[in-house]
Chains A and B, each alone.
Chain A
Amino acid sequence: MRNHKKYAPEVLNFEELLRNELLTIYYGFDFSKAEAYLKKEPAVEGHFQKIQEQVEGSTDEVFFNHYSYQTKAIFHLIRWTTAILAGSSKTQSHLQAAKANSSLIDLNAYPYPKSFKSGITRFREEISNLENDISTVKNIFESLAKLPFPYLYCIETDPMVSFKKDRNPVNTPETKEEPKETVVSIEFLVDEEPWANPQILQPEKIYVIKGRIRINEWPQGCDQMTLIPVSSQNQNAYELSLPPISPFKTQSTEISGHVVFRYPQHSFDDNMVIKLLCYFQKLDGSKLLPVVIGYDQLIAKVLDPNSHEFMTGFSSMSSAIAEINTKLQTELPNLDRTELKDFLHLLRGILNYQGFCLQHGTYKNESKVLENVFRDRLIQHLVGVPYLGEQIIKEAHLAGGRVEIGYKGIIAELKSEAKISDRNQLIAKYGKQPVAYSSGNGKQLSILCILDLTEKNSPPAPPRNNIKMITPEVHGYKTEDMEFPPRQVVVIIDGNTKDPSAYSV
């Protein structure tokens, strides 16, 4: 939108005052009144200043700028005459200033009326021709007294200026700065594991908590930050202590504490959750609650490895069960709880048989045991275990094959091996078949039990080594891509053992 000329009464008033002041100088210029003329200069400058405030930014500003140059030239001219008459040494500087100011009047910079333009051109020429004769000055003033001067009633203004002012951030009312909200970032780890990850912890053990605290800005008037645990659990069941934190100027600070769980959970179905509440203590005793982000919530299962759930009758096998349980819960968070429970029951029974065989030398000096014989013996043993009993099924038909042992959908594939003793080769050879059965039965977990009848030139390894949990290969997936990956526990029972004395050289 183009600008319009708008009536500016204030500018007009100052123009009139200005013109009147100058005309009183021009008319009947008298050298003897030079001092009186110079006393008008502050008033003239004041009028220009007031006009300048009104026309700033307008295209008409040029008109008044040049008007101002002309006026300055006139006052310098008066000073020059005064200095000459007083015999001062500063005469030339005033004349030069007068000439310089008049030369700045650019008649093409503004569309002046033609008659006025010619009058001002004459004025410029007369000043530029001045040398030492002050009588010419009187002629200049006489000419000016006869030169009508244009008045600007209207100043070119932008009609949208008031709207633009509203949009100008300089003129927008200052917005009060909102008080900053304090944000506390907490990252705690137990056993190198972030709190947010579900963890399996044991009761009556002191776990060290290590953490890092970050604060955007320490709130004013607060001298201490406190972290206290809150949980739906009975407070007597655990003890979590973290030291109070003093003000720190660095970006973050490290903190360490400890947590102890007094009692194991009776079931490993549920998690125990402890959240941290954070507050700043003010000097007057009041508390400020900040926003807490990060790993501020400990999710854990507190399990007793000696729980009847893990008991196999043999301590090393029991600890293996507890470990497998922990791993499965950590690695397979989506695993069906019933499947896990049933799997652990069957595994407990098989590990109990493993322990029994080792302890009693069941397959001592037997280099050839048929698979079905091995199966029948194991089934006989498992049926005798009270928590398995009648649920053990022999040779169930599944996925077009026959499974050696089934228990509530969990299968245990049995193998009798007389040639390969290398564990990895054994797993590579037999590990895939049980997965076919377990997948056929819709389960993630399976057991492979191998009776190793190879010749034992060396004494058997501690049985804990013969219990392995592996991730078997399946069709169409890489192991890490699966949402519900399979797991298999391989139990190897050392058979064809010799008398301990036979290993003596």
Chain B
Amino acid sequence: MKDISVGVRGRAIHAYGLIIREFPEYAETACFEHIRSMLFDKYVFVHKAAADFAYNVYPFLEKRDLKKWVSGILDLENHYYKEKDVSYGLELTRILLYLSAEQTVIHKNITQQILIKYCDCKNYETDREALEELTNLAKKNQTLTDIWMIEATRFLTRTQPDPNYSGNDERKKFIDFFYTLPEDLIRRNKDLLLTFARDRISRLNDRVMIDLVDTYAIAAYFCLWEELLELTKFFKKTVPDTKPLAFAHKLNQQAERISSTEQKVASASLDHSHIQQLIHA
């Protein structure tokens, strides 16, 4: 680890990581400190190896040492984020989340301050991966669902469904996660959904149509009938009634029918004339 060769130093860290994983009796605190100091090595190969070593060293660290490691990796993450290497920055964020798993406050801070910035770093793959990470965290921690919903609707608004692979669109897993959220959270953040839906309606085409269907579906599932009715009206006003969009209009008409009925049910204003309409529909 003290070799003059960069390659030797990097590989030595990697090898030592494997050794202590298989043979914990070879773990030495002095050695850990030396490797932690290598987080600041000027050579990429060496400090990346030192950062990776964090996964192996985690079980041996005291709380005090753990903070030192978190601090060191935070510096590294900050450097890479500034250098716009967001992909590796996200990798370091994952290490930070791993190290702080049992430190609730630190973990939450890393999620809300570090991970969030990778959810919108203008790189589709990194954005998606960061949001996936956030989704996994939100599944376990309800307190993160608000922040998730904000980031998810932003991501969905920024991106479009895959036109060639709509059946297994990577965005689909985020849409599906909406159904598992608590109703009050959805109602609290309904504006996010409405904004997203309005965005899709205002630039409606075949490609984004599925996003609109999904938004209507979420609204119908959570009985957001008033909001859905509002959206259908916005749709009617915004989307021209042309042949290529006939399908969208048909969908919107059905949503309007259903939401107007359910809205009347919810507001206890169902009347005889509406029932007659249903009977003759």
Taking a contact as CB atoms closer than 8 A, the residue among A2, A23, A28, A146 that contacts B261 in the complex is: A23
The digit string for A127-171, where 1 denotes a CB below 8 A from any CB of B, is: 000000000000000000111111111101001000000000000
- Chain A nearest CB from B5 CB (Å) reads 44
Task: Name the residue of chain B whose CB is nearest to the CB of A119.
Answer: B223
Bound-state CA distance A148–B261 (Å) is: 9
- Chain B nearest CB from A64 CB (Å) reads 14
The digit string for B112-153, where 1 denotes a CB below 8 A from any CB of A, is: 000000000000000000000000000000000000000000
Among A109-117, A381-389, A400-408, which stretch is in contact with chain B? A109-117
Taking a contact as CB atoms closer than 8 A, the residue among B257, B265, B272 that contacts A23 in the complex is: B265
The digit string for B209-223, where 1 denotes a CB below 8 A from any CB of A, is: 010011011001111
Taking a contact as CB atoms closer than 8 A, the residue among A12, A27, A148 that contacts B223 in the complex is: A148
CB of A20 closer than 8 Å to a CB of B: yes
CB of A113 within 8 A of CB of B221, answer yes
Among B11-19, B28-36, B174-182, which stretch is in contact with chain A? B174-182
- Chain B residues near A24: list those with CB within 8 A: 275, 278-279
Taking a contact as CB atoms closer than 8 A, the residue among A1, A5, A116, A147 that contacts B179 in the complex is: A5
Taking a contact as CB atoms closer than 8 A, the residue among A2, A111, A114 that contacts B180 in the complex is: A111
CB of B220 within 8 A of CB of A151, answer yes
CB of B281 closer than 8 Å to a CB of A: yes
CB of B225 within 8 A of CB of A148, answer yes
Interface size on B, residues (CB 8 A): 37
CB of B262 within 8 A of CB of A111, answer no
What are some 8 contacts across the A-B interface (CB < 8 A)? A2-B173, A5-B217, A16-B254, A24-B278, A28-B275, A148-B225, A149-B223, A152-B217
Known contacts A24-B275, A116-B223, A150-B222, then 5 further A-B pairs from the complex at CB < 8 Å, ordered by chain A residue: A1-B168, A24-B279, A115-B223, A150-B220, A150-B223
Task: Name the residue of chain A whose CB is nearest to the CB of B271.
Answer: A27
CB of A159 within 8 A of CB of B167, answer yes
CB of A148 within 8 A of CB of B210, answer no
CB of A114 within 8 A of CB of B179, answer no
On B, residues with C-beta under 8 Å from A are 167-168, 172-173, 175-176, 179-180, 182-184, 210, 213-214, 216-217, 220-223, 225, 251, 254, 257-258, 261-263, 265-266, 268, 270, 272, 275, 278-279, 281
CB of A356 closer than 8 Å to a CB of B: no
Bound-state CA distance A475–B221 (Å) is: 95
Bound-state CA distance A154–B183 (Å) is: 17
CB of A19 closer than 8 Å to a CB of B: yes
Bound-state CA distance A153–B252 (Å) is: 12
CB of A122 closer than 8 Å to a CB of B: no
Bound-state CA distance A5–B180 (Å) is: 12
Bound-state CA distance A154–B281 (Å) is: 23
- Chain B nearest CB from A74 CB (Å) reads 16
- Chain A residues near B221: list those with CB within 8 A: 113, 150-153
Bound-state CA distance A488–B214 (Å) is: 99
Chain A, 5-42, CB within 8 A of any chain B CB: 5-7, 9, 12-13, 16, 19-20, 23-24, 27-28
